[in-house]
């Protein structure tokens, strides 16, 4: 695809280079990702550091780039440095043409004004799950769309359940009963992550929302009910006290090591779990408080966004995005990365071919975006929520007290 640049473009590149050097010297905050003036190369950024995602994504990007007639420069940045990096790029007006960002961060980034509303770039959302399209909305406009999403479900150790003569739990009562009877010696009945980061809130939200609580009122009776469930599990010794320090990766290790009979986790753990041939496990949707309750899980996963540049570049980026979100590529990506495609047809196809993903696919239609209720206020409320969870599980506070303090903190 390489050809020698015409003199004018070359001169412009030199000028751009000089400008970059000048910015470096003056500003000291060196960032050389300024978009090139041409339209034959697009820049892309994401935070996938581990296989299979980090090997599959460049492959699919290259294929979609060829289809749209552009070359795509792929760049990956560790998760913890991802938002600072994007903010830095936003401040130098050099946001990449395509960025794959975590969906709760979208509202914040869209608020900067640096992202292009996808409809303006000429992208249609037909054939995609409405719940997923909603997750990418900010102030009435869609700024990001996930190629695939994930959610949470309950993993259970089949061998232990058969030995105990138990069925996988469907309701909270069945969950506590199962957790109780499967706790034995060094093994806990259940593991979940109540770590003091966004992960902790994400894990709690299926219980929180399914109980009927809203993030706008953290100390509602429904919220107290959900936190009481978690506190009962920890206080009774059916879940480890360490849940407040465990990330989702940690609980996956605990589950694989046989230290927990059940765990709350997402489909991205499947490649690792399936690699362990000795472990027989099943997956069911997250248990609900009563048989009539409507299950609601938080939407997880990353959304594609387009950064402001020139109309031609934005159009090219939209063309690439169309390919990425299409039935074929979104299926290919989701299969490799452990996601549920946002494309309804692809999701059906995948659920039919892979029964492991069926519980997750089932949840997508009713899943809720974390920023749906609060928009840019979400990070603050999420922090108050995971602090309340930790205060109740590790600090000896009652769920009522802890959630009331959280509600007072966000007021």
Partner 1 sequence: MPALVSARRTTPGAHAAGVRGRTLGARWAAFAFIAPTCLYVLVFYVYPLAGNLRMGFQDYTVKSFYTGVAPFVGWDNYRAVWQDPAFGGTVLNTVLFTAGSLAVQFAAGLALAMFFHRRFALNGVLRSLLLVPWLLPLVVSGTAWRWILETDSGVLNQTLGHPVPWLASTDLALLSVTLVNIWVGIPFNMVILYGGLQGIPAQLYEAAGLDGANAWQRFTRITLPLLRPVTVVVLTLGLIYTLKVFDVIMVLTQGGPADSSQTLTTFSYDLSFQQLAFGRGAAVGNILIVVAVVFAFVYLRATRDAEGRR
Secondary structure, 3-state, the chain: CCCCCCHHHHHHHHHHHHHHHHHHHHHCCCCCCCCCCCCCEEEEEECCCCCCHHHHHHHHHHHHHHHHCCEEEEEECCHHHHHHHHHHHHHCCCCCCEEEEEHHHHHHHHHCCCECCCCCCCCCCCCECHHHHHHCEECCEECEECCEEECCEEEEEHHHHHHHCCCCCCEHHHHHHHHHHHCECCEEEEECCCCCCHHHHHHHHHHHHHCCCECCECCCHHHHHHHHHHHHHHHCCCCCHHHHCCCHHHHHHHHHCCCEEEEEECHHHHHHHHCCCCCCEEEECCCECCCCCCCCCECECEEEEEECCCHHHHHHHHHHHHHHHCHHHHHHHHHHHCCEECEHHHHHHHHHHCHHHHHHHHHHCCCECCCCCCHHHHHHHHHHHHHHHHHHHHCCCCHHHHHHHHHHHHC
Q: Total residues contacting partner 1 (rule CB under 8 A)? A: 43
Binding mask 99-138 for partner 1 (x = CB under 8 A): ---------xx-xxxx------------------------
Binders of partner 1 among 58-77, rule CB under 8 A? none
Q: Which residue lies nearer to partner 1 by CB, 245 or 327?
A: 245
Q: Is 16 in the site for partner 1 (CB under 8 A)?
A: no
Q: Compute the least distance from the CB of residue 340 to partner 1, in Å.
A: 28
Residue 240 and residue 188 in contact, taking contact as beta carbons nearer than 8 Å: yes
Residue 40 and residue 18 in contact, taking contact as beta carbons nearer than 8 Å: no
Q: Which residue lies nearer to partner 1 by CB, 248 or 390?
A: 390
List 197, 217, 236, 274, residue binding partner 1 (CB under 8 A): 197
Q: Which residue lies nearer to partner 1 by CB, 67 or 401?
A: 401
Q: Is 78 in the site for partner 1 (CB under 8 A)?
A: no
Q: Which residue lies nearer to partner 1 by CB, 323 or 384?
A: 384
Q: Which residue lies nearer to partner 1 by CB, 200 or 301?
A: 200
Q: Compute the least distance from the CB of residue 184 to partner 1, in Å.
A: 14
Q: Is 367 in the site for partner 1 (CB under 8 A)?
A: no
All residues at 6 or more sequence positions from 394 whose CB lies less than 8 Å from its CB, including other chains: 241, 244
Q: Is 93 in the site for partner 1 (CB under 8 A)?
A: yes
The one segment of 66-74, 141-149, 211-219, 384-392 that binds partner 1 by CB under 8 A: 384-392
Q: Is 395 in the site for partner 1 (CB under 8 A)?
A: yes
Q: Is 28 in the site for partner 1 (CB under 8 A)?
A: yes
Q: Which residue lies nearer to partner 1 by CB, 134 or 253?
A: 253
Q: Which residue lies nearer to partner 1 by CB, 1 or 25?
A: 25
Q: Is 305 in the site for partner 1 (CB under 8 A)?
A: no
Q: Tokens standing for 174?
A: 């069945």
Binding mask 156-195 for partner 1 (x = CB under 8 A): ------------------------------x--------x
Q: Compute the least distance from the CB of residue 390 to partner 1, in Å.
A: 4
Task: Give the span between the Cα atoms of 208 and 227, in whole angstroms.
Answer: 8
Q: Which residue lies nearer to partner 1 by CB, 244 or 331?
A: 244
Query: Is the peptide bond preceding residue 52 cis, with omega within 30 degrees of 0?
Result: yes
Q: Is 388 in the site for partner 1 (CB under 8 A)?
A: yes
Q: Is 355 in the site for partner 1 (CB under 8 A)?
A: no
The one segment of 222-230, 294-302, 324-332, 382-390 that binds partner 1 by CB under 8 A: 382-390
Q: Is 345 in the site for partner 1 (CB under 8 A)?
A: no
Interface contacts to partner 1, rule CB under 8 A: 28, 83-84, 87-88, 90-91, 93, 108-109, 111-114, 186, 195-198, 240-245, 259, 376, 379-380, 383, 387-388, 390-391, 393-397, 402, 405, 408-409
């Amino acid at each position: 695809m390489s050809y020698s640049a015409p003199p004018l473009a070359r001169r412009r590149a030199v000028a751009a280079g000089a400008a970059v050097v000048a910015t470096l010297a003056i500003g000291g905050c060196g960032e050389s990702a300024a978009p090139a003036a041409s339209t034959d190369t697009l820049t892309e950024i994401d935070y996938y550091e581990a296989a299979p995602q980090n090997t599959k994504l460049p492959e699919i990007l290259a294929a979609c780039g060829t289809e749209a007639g552009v070359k795509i420069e792929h760049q990956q940045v560790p998760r913890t440095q991802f938002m600072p990096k994007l903010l830095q790029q936003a401040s130098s007006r050099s946001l990449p043409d395509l960025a794959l960002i975590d969906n709760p961060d979208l509202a914040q980034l869209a608020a900067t004004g640096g992202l292009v509303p996808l409809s303006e770039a000429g992208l249609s959302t037909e054939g995609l799950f409405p719940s997923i399209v909603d997750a990418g909305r900010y102030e009435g406009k869609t700024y990001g769309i996930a190629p695939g999403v994930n959610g949470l479900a309950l993993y259970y150790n089949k061998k232990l359940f058969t030995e105990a003569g138990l069925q996988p739990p469907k309701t909270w009562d069945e969950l506590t009963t199962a957790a109780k009877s499967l706790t034995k010696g060094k093994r806990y009945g259940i593991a979940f992550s109540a770590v003091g980061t966004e992960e902790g809130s994400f894990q709690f939200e299926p219980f929180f929302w399914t109980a009927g609580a809203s993030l706008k009122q953290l100390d509602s009776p429904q919220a107290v009910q959900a936190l009481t469930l978690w506190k009962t599990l920890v206080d009774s010794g059916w879940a480890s006290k360490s849940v407040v320090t465990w990330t989702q990766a940690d609980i996956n290790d605990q589950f694989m090591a046989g230290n927990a009979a059940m765990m709350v986790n997402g489909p991205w753990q499947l490649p690792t779990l399936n690699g362990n041939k000795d472990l027989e496990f099943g997956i069911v949707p997250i248990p609900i408080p009563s048989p009539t309750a409507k299950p609601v899980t938080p939407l997880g996963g990353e959304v594609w966004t387009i950064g402001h540049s020139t109309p031609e570049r934005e159009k090219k980026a939209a063309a690439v995005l169309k390919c990425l979100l299409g039935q074929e590529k979104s299926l290919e990506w989701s299969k490799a990365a452990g996601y549920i495609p946002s494309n309804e047809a692809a999701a059906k196809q995948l659920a039919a071919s892979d029964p492991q993903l069926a519980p997750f696919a089932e949840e997508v239609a009713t899943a809720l975006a974390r920023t749906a209720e609060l928009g840019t206020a979400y990070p603050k409320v999420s922090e108050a929520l995971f602090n309340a969870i930790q205060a109740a599980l590790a600090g000896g506070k009652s769920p009522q007290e802890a959630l009331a303090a959280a509600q007072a903190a966000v007021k």
